[in-house]
Structure 1
Amino acid sequence: MNVEQARFNMIEQQIRPWDVLDAHVLDLLAVVRREDFVPQQHRALAFADLAIPLKDSEAAVAAGQVMLEPRIEARMLQDLQVAKHEKVLEIGTGSGFMAALLGHRAQRVLSLEIDNGLAATARANLQRAGVMNVEVRVADGATADLSADGPFDAILLSGSVAQVPDTLLALLKPGGRLLGIVGDEPIMRATLVQQSPAGRAVIQPWDESVPRLLNFPEPSRFKF
């Protein structure tokens, strides 16, 4: 496989047509080696438009332990609009690829991963990639006490939730924003929440279904 041609095709045929037009994001995707964050057995799929399993077991895939499609990661990175002076929180490290992208854009990134094995792999991947401003911490993003780490300029949920978590919104700085994919299959919506003096502004610019983040509340489906 011609890796650089495959990377070029990923950017031009998958990512750019998905309204990812920010030149800084596209340039970053050209230089951060996605293939180095993909499990060895799936390396040939590094640039494919599909979610890549991060473990071999069916249970792991069912638990959402996958690397999201390149176009979704790119669009989330573009929409979050991270700046060099900012502190960012990511929930769901996975292989560390999104954390690496965020690290190139931000001053500091704290990324939480609930699975010890994935956290160790992500740390190794980030170290090999020379990304030194990302801390990968083993923690449950749904329940972790982050009061000593916040507030954050931006929070990214690298997976879906049923509703925007108020506990995470409380960690945002004034003017800060949170981006996650919210809702239930078959329709989930990318949801960007921004804190402002006038309250919270919410936009939902695109739809996509992605695996759940573990342990976040699921509201009852029963109505009386």
Structure 2
Amino acid sequence: MNKDRAEERRLMIQTQILSRGVKDQRVLKALETVPRHFFVPEEFADVAYHDHPIPIGYNQTISQPYIVARMTELLAPEEGDIILEIGTGSGYQAAVLSAMGARVISLERIAELADDARSNLQKAGVVNVSVFVSDGSLGWDEMAPYDGIIITAATPAIPSILIKQLAVNGRIVAPVGPQHMQVLIRLTRDTEGIRREEYEGVRFVPLIGRHGWNS
């Protein structure tokens, strides 16, 4: 069996990503490069490239490939950007951003998941991602301002503390709304203020933290 699963990645891109309108070639290349099966529990390796989220333990999931692609395309990271990720999970989203040339600071509140993500990233050969155990809703002021911030859990609103950590011309992408259903939001900071755009409906696990959900 092909352990690299390159053909599965190509099929994933053709049937799940391109067919739904994601066109950014850099995003597609990153998805083709990153071995998604390294970022799921071993028992789910054979379905790693299927069109659905996968449980990774601790009531958390790795998002389906399309959602990762869509949020990455909306974030539009450039080579050399510093990106803050809220919710490391298994490390897959961070690995995709890294493959696009970004430096990623990733925050995970569950220490065991953070350890797993570091192991997954190392196995995949990713070197420009730093994972910290922290309340992601507070951000990470030490490396601010960020060229991009991506929240990979449902938040009732985008925390103002994160907006303050965003650079001029930077973008925040997040699922915003009640716990049962959210809308993808992109905020862009320019010299005149903050511009808000709304996209499709999504469903994520909740962001737990001081500026997220309590539980």
User: When the two structures are superposed, what TM-score results if normalisation uses the length of structure 1?
Assistant: 0.88
Counterpart amino acid of 1:164? I
- For 1:32 and 1:217, locate their aligned partners in 2 and report how far apart those are by CA, in whole Å: 30
Unaligned runs of 5+ in 1: 220-224
Report how far residue 148 of structure 1 moved.
Answer: 2.1
Counterpart amino acid of 1:24? R
Corresponding position of 2:190: 196
Report how far residue 102 of structure 1 moved.
Answer: 1.0
In the TM superposition, what are the counterparts of 1:1-224 in structure 2 within 5 Å?
3-55=5-57, 60-61=58-59, 65-143=60-138, 146-184=140-178, 187-215=181-209, 216-218=211-213
Q: 1:209 to 1:107 in 2, by over 3 A?
A: closer
Q: 1:137 to 1:45 in 2, by over 3 A?
A: same
* Structure 2 contact 30–96 (Cα < 8 Å) conserved: yes
Report how far residue 173 of structure 1 moved.
Answer: 0.9
User: When the two structures are superposed, what TM-score results if normalisation uses the length of structure 2?
Assistant: 0.92
RMSD: 1.7
Higher mean Cα deviation, 18-27 or 84-93? 18-27
Runs of 4+ in 1 over 4 A off after TM superposition: none
- The count of aligned residue pairs is 211
Identity of aligned residues (%): 34
Unaligned runs of 5+ in 2: none
* Structure 2 contact 50–64 (Cα < 8 Å) conserved: yes
SS at match of 2:49: coil
- For 1:217 and 1:97, locate their aligned partners in 2 and report how far apart those are by CA, in whole Å: 22
SS at match of 1:213: coil
Higher mean Cα deviation, 185-194 or 16-25? 185-194
Report how far residue 8 of structure 1 moved.
Answer: 2.1
- For 2:171 and 2:9, locate their aligned partners in 1 and report how far apart those are by CA, in whole Å: 30
- For 2:78 and 2:129, locate their aligned partners in 1 and report how far apart those are by CA, in whole Å: 15
